[in-house]
């Protein structure tokens, strides 16, 4: 059984006695910063010159400084810049200014697992990785709840890294739900696998194929959209509440029988072989290398794939349909349709 941590397992005062610098004010950065601040922690957001996030962070009442200045002052430095730039920010602005004995915190293990960042031995290195998007990490905290977090310690120079990590996890609201003990390797490999095979890659491809199959057979795109995309959320909500069993309990017997006989025809054993190949490329570092090489070249492959995704007919159908859903309230104000 995995080791779990809750609010009672952590002492909030540990992190309240430290100066924390959060580098980056994107999805996770804004959530960590605001939750820490509201938990009584001394936070400074470290941003690049000319960062578009500066005004946003200041509007929320946070202290903002350059990355170098924020780091110079900090006992705890939280690296929440995008994974592909972390090693550059670390080498240029973090490492040269890091206080002796300051702790380094990550929200995902990518740069440590694949060796892009190699902290000196005198620093605690730990991870508090919320298992949900940043905007939910903030919203849940503000509503008195929390998003579960994975907690790992890579380097325990002070002998107190766990104490600090759990205190930090408590301050961002994670231990109101649960903290789960893991390692940087396990978190990185499973996170990449989950998002590539099931949550993002697998689900997106499944939805697109379903939409294509129905529209190519002559059915209306709006009907296809509802069947293969919109209703997915309702099904997933039931899975989260009570597993596959609750989902199957709630649907009709017709749907449940179809689940058993047709599910394995669509997602056949071949798909599992493909998943194993995807996992192998994560474990052997091929995926990381390909991602970083493309990013370093200005992300030509990434941009081309993003543009291609946006042009899929399901997106046009969805944009038009969602205008009629007065009851779908945007969950955050940053995202603008068609601007990804
Ligand atoms: P993001 O792309 O939303 O935001 C990154 C922010 O970093 C930008 O808004 C900007 O403020 C800043 N930034 C960009 N370039 C910079 C530079 N050169 N120097 C300094 N700051 C810079 O990033 P994110 O999705 O929040 O991801 C941050 C970390 O959290 C990653 O390690 C990611 O894997 C992890 N994570 C993200 C999520 C999520 O919900 N998006 C969930 C779990 C873990
Ligand atoms: Mg994930
Ligand atoms: Mg991820
Ligand atoms: Mg149906
Ligand atoms: Mg039923
Ligand atoms: Mg993004």
Whether residue 219 lies inside any domain: the answer is yes
Determine contact, residues 52/182, Cβ cutoff 8 Å. Answer: no
Q: Are residues 122 and 220 in the same domain?
A: no
Q: Are residues 10 and 145 in the same domain?
A: yes
Best of 24, 57, 335 to mutate for ligand 1, by most ligand atoms within 8 A of CB?
Answer: 24
Distance 113 CA to ligand 1 centre (A): 17
pLDDT band at 222 (very low <50, low <70, confident <90, very high): very high
Whether residue 335 lies inside any domain: the answer is no
Q: Are residues 19 and 91 in the same domain?
A: yes
- Closest ligand relative to 248 C-alpha: 5
Q: Are residues 161 and 232 in the same domain?
A: no
Q: Between the CA of residue 215 and those of 100, 202, 208, 264, what are the distances in Å?
A: 61, 20, 11, 23
Q: Which atom of ligand 1 is nearest to the CA of 93?
A: 19
Q: Are residues 209 and 272 in the same domain?
A: yes
Whether residue 327 lies inside any domain: the answer is no
Whether residue 96 lies inside any domain: the answer is yes
Question: How far is it, in rounded angstroms, from Cα 97 to Cα 288?
Answer: 27
Q: Are residues 156 and 88 in the same domain?
A: yes
Q: How many structural domains comprise the chain?
A: 2
Q: Are residues 171 and 292 in the same domain?
A: no
User: pLDDT (tens digit, 9 = 90+) per residue, 3-61?
Assistant: 999 999 999 999 999 999 999 999 999 999 999 999 999 999 999 989 999 999 999 99
Residue 76: CATH number of its domain? 3.40.50.720
Q: Are residues 222 and 305 in the same domain?
A: yes
Query: Does 147 contact ligand 1 (Cβ within 6 A)?
Result: no
Percent of the chain at pLDDT above 90? Answer: 94
Of 182, 212, 234, the position where a domain reaches its end is 182
- Closest ligand relative to 253 C-alpha: 5
Query: Does 135 contact ligand 1 (Cβ within 6 A)?
Result: no
Residues 6+ apart with CB under 8 A from 6: 175, 176, 178, 179
Query: Does 23 contact ligand 1 (Cβ within 6 A)?
Result: yes
ipTM: 0.94
Q: Are residues 127 and 79 in the same domain?
A: yes
pLDDT at 336: 65
Our answer to whether residue 135 is catalytic in this structure is no
Catalytic residue among 108, 135, 230, 270: 108
pLDDT at 324: 84
Query: Does 148 contact ligand 1 (Cβ within 6 A)?
Result: no
Whether residue 72 lies inside any domain: the answer is yes
Angle, alpha carbons 209-213-217 (nearest 5°):
165
Whether residue 101 lies inside any domain: the answer is yes
Q: Are residues 218 and 313 in the same domain?
A: yes
Domain around 75:
4-182
Residues 208-213: what's their mean pLDDT? 98
Q: Are residues 173 and 300 in the same domain?
A: no
Whether residue 330 lies inside any domain: the answer is no
Q: What is the sign of the dihedral through the CA atoms of 182, 183, 185 and 187?
A: positive
Q: What is the 3-state secondary structure (H, E, C) of 127-151?
A: EEEECCCHHHHHHHHHCCCCCCEEE
Residue 340 has pLDDT above 60, yes or no: no
């Amino acid at each position: 059984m995995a080791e779990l941590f809750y609010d009672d397992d952590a002492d909030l005062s540990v992190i309240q006695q430290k100066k924390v610098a959060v580098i980056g004010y994107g999805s996770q950065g804004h959530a960590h910063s605001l939750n820490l601040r509201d938990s009584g922690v001394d936070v400074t957001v470290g941003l690049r010159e000319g960062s578009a996030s500066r005004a946003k962070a200041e509007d929320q009442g946070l202290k903002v400084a350059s990355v170098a200045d924020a780091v110079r002052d900090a006992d705890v430095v939280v690296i929440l810049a995008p994974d592909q730039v972390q090693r550059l920010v670390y080498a240029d602005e973090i490492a040269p200014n890091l206080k002796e004995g300051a702790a380094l915190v990550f929200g995902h293990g990518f740069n440590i697992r694949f060796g892009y960042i190699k902290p000196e031995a005198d620093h605690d290195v730990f991870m508090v990785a919320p298992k949900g998007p940043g905007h939910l990490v903030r919203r849940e905290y503000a509503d008195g709840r929390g998003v579960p977090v994975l907690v790992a310690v890579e380097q325990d120079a002070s002998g107190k890294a766990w104490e600090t990590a759990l205190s930090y996890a408590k301050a961002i609201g994670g231990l109101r739900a649960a903290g789960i003990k893991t390692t940087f390797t396990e978190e990185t490999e499973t996170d990449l696998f989950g998002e590539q095979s099931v949550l993002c890659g697998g689900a997106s491809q499944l939805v697109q194929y379903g939409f294509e199959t129905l529209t190519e057979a002559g059915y209306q795109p709006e009907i296809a959209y509802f069947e293969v995309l919109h209703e997915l959320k309702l099904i997933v909500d039931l899975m989260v509440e009570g597993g596959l069993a609750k989902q199957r309990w709630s649907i009709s017997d017709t749907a449940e029988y179809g689940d058993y006989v047709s599910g394995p025809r669509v997602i056949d054993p071949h798909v599992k072989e493909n998943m194993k190949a995807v996992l192998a490329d994560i474990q052997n570092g091929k995926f990381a290398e390909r991602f970083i090489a493309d990013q370093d070249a200005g992300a030509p492959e990434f941009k081309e794939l993003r543009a291609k995704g946006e042009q899929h007919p399901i997106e046009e159908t969805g944009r038009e349909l969602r205008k009629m859903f007065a009851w779908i309230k945007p969950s955050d104000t940053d995202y603008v349709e068609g601007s990804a």
